[in-house]
Structure 1
């Protein structure tokens, strides 16, 4: 009995520690971390196939498309909940998940066809879109990658992962159990410059117009999407940040949007700008932890308020632009690009000071002193007739490489949306244990992949302000917030928007900011092999690094008492008045979808700089190994004792 107990103890300990922290595989011989991915469900996107839906059928079709998304999300959650059982028999998912999903989709797709048939021509071939595929998980080599960061993948049987300590899940599945993983990140300093400036033709419209609408410091968020799923609560299945129009929800009519308040400095801009929230996978339970679109659908962790949001409208490289029609709707990017493919993916990720290097399918790992940047370049060609289309894409188009619009389309001001976050580079080597991973919200089956990032825009500019914008862009002036063209009011003191829209103006259509003279760390790097000036420096807790007194919070991350954290701090632009107060943290925001109190001016609240990484040499050292082997040693001793007692008992018997 003692021997058996000893063997059990030794084996249980070995099994418990074999996978490393959080069930995640440890470093291999190359020092890289293997991080297993999750299985997911790939359903054909019915909405993208519907290019001609009569107005009389739009409402029924939109509701049915939202129901298809709900069915996919529910099936994915069922798949995730059954991960342990399905890992033993992956084919069991056919009867329990995939076949029932196909039946539900078939019935819903038939309702779409009937709704269109009542007022127009019945679409053909929709029934072939009912079946979905089960995509197996992948085990990819993670760690810090460069270039495109493409991992080497092999099939993995595990369909999902659970929640682990510190917010990281089993197999690196993230706090919500559905991503991100280590291979979703890339070191921006190892990426080659890839964002050239388009050539300007003689008739180019070289001006720009900037609208200052804040950073959503009041915490206006919901999981609706009034463009894709009007009238459907939780139509997005993930949360959005909203700036500009303050009445955006699933049930907002055009009249509601036109009469709404706005967070924009110039009240002539009531447009709505929204995008998926960014979260830290740090184990924090937000107020939406038990809500649809939030934690119940795998979107978990602390919501990060942007440090800066810049909304700039730019011209066309070869022609003048015409005004956008009022209530024009544009979606850029594809929220389902992970399973749909990258054809419509359009978001870019980079770091301040490195914006000549853009990532499409990776989150950036930024050096110390550099902030994370998301950039969206919206479609800038309009068909001249429609403010929306059945698939929300065909009424607008991207300009060609030479700046020309497709035949029948005309150039309109291009919205370039730039969102900056003061978040430290996560410690992908340990799955975010030391410094948490970050990721955007997504549909649950899209696994928080960066390629699914997207932005939405509805034009609710006053017509007079739109005319000023067009005139400013066509005449080559810089107008709007902080501009010199006088087309719009500049930010005034005490607005509380905190956007700093003019601190890093977007240069043309490329989205690469002009270097700031007050911040030489943001000068673009052109040589990927050159060590950047702000190389990461880890300081011990309490160590001073020339930027102010440092302390630590309860997570071990450095904090700064008073003043800014030093992450690419910008000088206050001329004409902006007093500096804006820092945005409140997500933990101090109000209920989701409601306003919260902004921090007091001069409070000095900042986002902590990067955490101090644990020395990698400590892990696997002789001292640690010896300390961890005592249960195995005790088990061996018990086994030997049992063997001795068994031999003595035999001798006494005979």
Structure 2
């Protein structure tokens, strides 16, 4: 079991923002091309050349995370306006990056638009603006550089010296020596990340995974696996039905989908119930989805000129996972209870780079090095080793709600001893491990909101339970009896 990294703060300045530094061979880094285009310049090969973005990003208060009390009837209108806030930030970031007006003018327009949209949110909630106080002002967060290396405000202090994470992990070992150097295109072909400093040689990371809590007498030690494949490229889209239902391109980045084949912005519980599934067990119509990973290989993907794709800085060849392992586990302290049908869970935070790491739950590693897990770095794996992303979902449920206004309050993580918070009960814990074979000497990045600069800490995973009642009960019985099933 991985260390519960979401419990530990990693940044001394949670609002710091950093932007692309390029490794142009030999491990050197530089900030260049402040007003790069969305795709960069094309050479004779038709491939995109590497460019770098402006040194900074737009940082706005995340309104959706703060809304803990939204009337059920108001949620569709609130969700639509929250999606509009994301759209406004994405457009403003693009204007900044392409220098379409001064930064002051762009921010002033953005904040005016946000003010009107938040008035709409308050009106939808019956005129209650109390939860929206202090949530309007967006800022342009810049970064200083020293000696060609990024220095992100106070990020070099506290327990994250030079990218240190989980013991003696060194974030500054990308260049110069060893087999795993950051390749020359590490700035990201769209100019908004990832940066050289986002990569670390996994062989130089110290083991940092804690042992799971020892199961108590009433604990549940079984596992239940479901095989659902690696996703159909034809089903990819940039929607997010949990966070932005009814809004096309609500994610501003592309997701891979396994399980239910009807997941888009306009799906509802009935849609999922009637949909097909890629899972071998046809009684599992759950939907499992996550941002795609792209090789920063200078090539255009099919969505290079589309929203959610190249228009928003998500570029490069989409990597199809080598495998996706979906497993449900037990609880060290107690038996688990069945998940309710249509329970929605999001783990991780797509905006963790500007929000801070409170809800970050990314876990990157390499096969053969699973005892070393990274939250804010991409791993450079040795030859023969594959990149992995592992998501440990929240495993405690409030016993009442299948969702909440901020999509978090109805579920919680278990404590270090495995116990659930007061008022919550243990449910099967979804653990999803996705594996990729990344082409040699090719940097890669997870899709994300454009202002998040493709930082690894923004990785996240989404799940809606659409198992039949019989199958969920079978999983619960298996886990509670200590068996390995599925």
TM-score greater than 0.5 by the shorter chain: yes
Secondary structure at the aligned position of 1:117 is classed as coil
1:39 aligns with 2:56: yes
Gaps of 5+ in 2: 1-19, 32-52, 151-161, 174-182
Q: Distance in 1 between matches of 2:433 and 2:468?
A: 23
Secondary structure at the aligned position of 2:326 is classed as strand
CA spacing shift, 1:261–1:349, aligned 2, 3 Å: same
Structure 1 residue 194: Cα displacement: 1.1
Give the aligned partner of residue 254 of structure 1.
Answer: 269
Secondary structure at the aligned position of 1:347 is classed as coil
1:458 aligns with 2:464: yes
1:116 aligns with 2:125: yes
Give the aligned partner of residue 367 of structure 1.
Answer: 382
Aligned length: 419
CA spacing shift, 1:50–1:81, aligned 2, 3 Å: same
Give the aligned partner of residue 444 of structure 1.
Answer: 450
Equivalent pair of 1:63/1:232 in contact (CA under 8 Å):
yes
Deviations 1:215-265 (A, max 9, x none): 114542000000000000000000000000000000001100011000000
Equivalent pair of 1:167/1:282 in contact (CA under 8 Å):
no
Give the aligned partner of residue 293 of structure 1.
Answer: 308
Q: Distance in 1 between matches of 2:24 and 2:466?
A: 52
Bigger share in helix: 1
Q: Distance in 2 between matches of 1:390 and 1:125?
A: 12
Give the aligned partner of residue 149 of structure 2.
Answer: 141
Q: Distance in 2 between matches of 1:149 and 1:220?
A: 38
In the superposition, the TM-score normalised over structure 2's length comes to 0.83
Equivalent pair of 1:309/1:418 in contact (CA under 8 Å):
yes
Structure 1 residue 195: Cα displacement: 1.1
Q: Distance in 2 between matches of 1:269 and 1:406?
A: 29
Equivalent pair of 2:322/2:435 in contact (CA under 8 Å):
yes
Paired residue for 1:236, among 251, 254, 268? Answer: 251
Secondary structure at the aligned position of 2:115 is classed as helix
Deviations 1:25-81 (A, max 9, x none): 767xxx742243731000000011100100111111000000000000000000000
Alignment of 1:560-579 (within 5 A): none
Give the aligned partner of residue 215 of structure 2.
Answer: 200
Structure 1 residue 411: Cα displacement: 0.1
1:313 aligns with 2:328: yes
Give the aligned partner of residue 52 of structure 1.
Answer: 69
Q: Distance in 2 between matches of 1:364 and 1:250?
A: 32
Bigger Cα Rg: 1
1:343 aligns with 2:358: yes
Equivalent pair of 1:39/1:138 in contact (CA under 8 Å):
no
Secondary structure at the aligned position of 1:331 is classed as strand
Alignment of 1:400-479 (within 5 A): 400-424=415-439, 435-479=441-485
Structure 1 residue 436: Cα displacement: 2.3
Give the aligned partner of residue 192 of structure 2.
Answer: 178
Structure 1 residue 150: Cα displacement: 4.6
Give the aligned partner of residue 131 of structure 1.
Answer: 137
Structure 1 residue 141: Cα displacement: 3.0
Equivalent pair of 1:384/1:409 in contact (CA under 8 Å):
yes
Q: Distance in 2 between matches of 1:222 and 1:167?
A: 30
Paired residue for 1:396, among 407, 411, 416? Answer: 411
Deviations 1:488-528 (A, max 9, x none): xxxxxxxxxxxxxxxxxxxxxxxxxxxxxxxxxxxxxxxxx
Deviations 1:284-342 (A, max 9, x none): 11111111000000000000000010000000011100000000000000000000000
Structure 1 residue 133: Cα displacement: 1.2
Secondary structure at the aligned position of 1:70 is classed as helix
Give the aligned partner of residue 110 of structure 2.
Answer: 101
Equivalent pair of 1:317/1:402 in contact (CA under 8 Å):
yes
Secondary structure at the aligned position of 2:300 is classed as coil
Q: Distance in 2 between matches of 1:261 and 1:313?
A: 21
Q: Distance in 2 between matches of 1:97 and 1:53?
A: 30
Secondary structure at the aligned position of 1:342 is classed as coil
CA spacing shift, 1:373–1:124, aligned 2, 3 Å: same
Higher relative contact order (CA 8 A, sep 6+): 2
Q: Distance in 2 between matches of 1:35 and 1:243?
A: 39
Equivalent pair of 1:264/1:270 in contact (CA under 8 Å):
yes
In the superposition, the TM-score normalised over structure 1's length comes to 0.62
Structure 1 residue 190: Cα displacement: 1.1
Q: Distance in 1 between matches of 2:119 and 2:234?
A: 39
Equivalent pair of 2:21/2:29 in contact (CA under 8 Å):
no
Paired residue for 1:303, among 318, 336, 358? Answer: 318
Deviations 1:66-97 (A, max 9, x none): 000000000000000018xx8xxxxx411x21
